[in-house]
Amino acid sequence: MNGSVCPKINCSFNDISALQPNPDISGIGVLIGFGASAYLTLVFCIAYFLLDREGNTNAVDQLVIQTLPALLGWKRGRASDKWSEALQNAVLTFSDLQIVTGISLAVSGYSQVQCQLTVYDAELIVDLVWFSCITHLATVSSLRRYFRERPALRLWRMICMGITVGMLSYALVFTAYDPVLPDVESAHWSYPTFLAYPAWCVLHPHELDNAVKAYSQAGYVSYNSSYIALVMAFLVVSYTTRTIRLFPKASDKIRTVFRTKPSLALKNELARLKHRVSILIIVMGNHMVSWGHRLGNYKCVARSLDRLF
């Protein structure tokens, strides 16, 4: 979009207009459609997880699968191949829908940054893309074996996941900035006012900083770096672990290095410690027996002395 179509962006706090609705992002139809598809995806993932016939579960999964139906009073049985295939196709379809929707929303938001996209709409996009990313990661875990058997589809899935995570990571900047204006009356300034502020200015911190200083002498820009670090770490770890587990050899090797070998080393160390404790107990027991004999001898000597005197 060029300058003739989009109005010129003004980062001044004196000219913040009222928040206007953006039907392409915050419209009720968009929110309902996205929310419904996301929750349906989660429902299908849970159903496929509970009815998994491939044994693609670990000990924790088995505990949940055995406990949850019992708590709810369900009689759990094996699903037919027809139902398993239907659920797999449903999860795959909604997985594609989630990743396409997430990328589309992110691209839509970035394309409107130059056209007065507000902080409110930007934060809403971040929330929706975040939900889409997490939901899609859940589907990848459910369809792990399916993707392992289809390398080409697995590659495209990884690329799309990487694009989504990358765009989401950059967009997290909207959720970290907060202008603080201590010498401005609340009647003239509040956080809802900042929601109508141009998102472009937030993506350019020097513009936001200059605008805050021009509006309030005591004002400053607060940045929640610890929050961003935690969120980024969660995204990177989630994406990396699920990507690695799509490759059987790499997954087995990393499991051996980071779980099997440390576990064996810890077990061996505990066994040695147990052996040392056992030896210590035996030695202490022998000493106690020896002390008991000595004490008995001392008592005999004492009784003999009493008889003599």
- Give the pLDDT of residue 65: 67
- Give the pLDDT of residue 206: 80
- Give the pLDDT of residue 2: 45
pLDDT at residue 179 greater than cutoff 80: no
- Give the pLDDT of residue 305: 47
Annotated domain spans of the chain: 13-246, 264-309
Rounded-to-integer distance, Cα 50 and Cα 283, Å: 54
pLDDT digits (tens, 9 = 90+) for 242-294: 888 888 887 788 878 777 788 888 888 888 887 777 777 776 666 665 655 55
Minimum mean pLDDT among 9-13, 76-80, 155-159, 251-255: which range?
A: 76-80
- Give the pLDDT of residue 299: 52
The stretch 129-153 carries a mean pLDDT of 85
pLDDT digits (tens, 9 = 90+) for 44-72: 888 887 776 555 566 666 677 677 666 76
**Contact present, 53 and 142 (Cβ < 8 Å):** no
Higher pLDDT, 300 or 216: 216
**Contact present, 135 and 105 (Cβ < 8 Å):** no
- Give the pLDDT of residue 161: 86
Report the mean per-residue pLDDT for the chain.
Answer: 76
**Contact present, 121 and 23 (Cβ < 8 Å):** no
Provide CB contacts within 8 A for 145, sequence distance 6+. 54, 56
